[in-house]
Amino acid sequence: PQARPGAGTMLARGAVRMMSTEASARVVLVVGGSGALGRACVSAFKAADWTVVSADRVEDKEADHSVVVDGAWDSHVEQLAAPAAKLGNYSAVICTAGGWAGGSLSEPEDAVAGAQSMIEACYQTALSSALVSYKCMRPDGLLALTGAAAALGPTPGMIGYGMAKAATAFLSSCAAAPNAEGGLPDAAHVTLIAPNVLDSPANRANMPDADFGTFTPPAVVADLLLSRAEGGDGRAGAARGEILEPRTAEGVTTWHRR
């Protein structure tokens, strides 16, 4: 997929900014909308004339509606679902929230602290997104979660990160189970994106000696998710619950099923 180009006042924590109450045929919830991948998704969906709801710790002024959350993410399912009551059920729920922390068995304090922070930043946000999808996503909608290619195998130097991302992959498989077994409606689509390294300012700053030509542009991921969300040919050949890994070399990204 090709990359797409990419007002309000500050809110008190826990507030929701609603610019319009008119129902839209296509509404997307981007959880983690203020991060690098989240911002790319907000831009791509807005460019395609979707109504965009962004949820994060800070307000997203580019989105049509912004949910500013505080505290543990798993306590905010009702808040994340609130915009759907006015806008109509979501056609897509995309979780781009996350983070990174190291820590190995030889570094017990780092391992414990990393696990605690990654469970909140990566797994709890994904779980909230899945719960919101079950509660107020259209039966043929898209749930997209963000895993990690590294976490598809052992991550001994970053135990907490690997645990949280592996748990997110497991959650994706649960959401993709038949509806009769507790999964999302059978017409819904579920995708787990498993990137290696996204091309963000933070990653470039933290890895100054890396080959940036191997970093995946967030806009490329956003375009893939937009295509899946719009259905039709965008889901041709796609398997419910599939894991997609973007691999980038010399600035060119290809997609691989895992």
**Smallest Cα–Cα separation from 59: which of 96, 7, 95?**
7
Q: What one-letter code names the amino acid at 14?
A: G
Closest to 172 (Cα-Cα) out of 161, 186, 183, 159 = 183
Q: Please state the φ and ψ torsions of residue 244, each to the nearest 5 degrees.
A: -115, 125
Q: Look at residues 31, 30, 71 and name the one whose alpha carbon lies nearest to residue 52.
A: 30
Cα 2 from Cα 29, distance rounded (Å): 22
Q: Which of these, 258, 229, 219, lies nearest to 241 by C-alpha position?
A: 258
- Of the candidates 90, 123, 134, 161, the residue annotated as catalytic is 161
Return the percent helix, strand and coil in the chain, to nearest 5.
40, 20, 40
Which residue is listed with tokens 């997203």?
60
Q: Provide the token pair at 64.
A: 């049509």
CA distances from 209 to 48, 83, 103 (A): 36, 43, 22
Answer whether 172's CB lies under 8 Å from 241's CB. yes
Give the integer Cα–Cα distance in Å for 241 and 227: 16
161 is a catalytic site residue: yes
Among 92, 221, 202, smallest CA distance to 146 is for 221
Residues with catalytic roles? 161
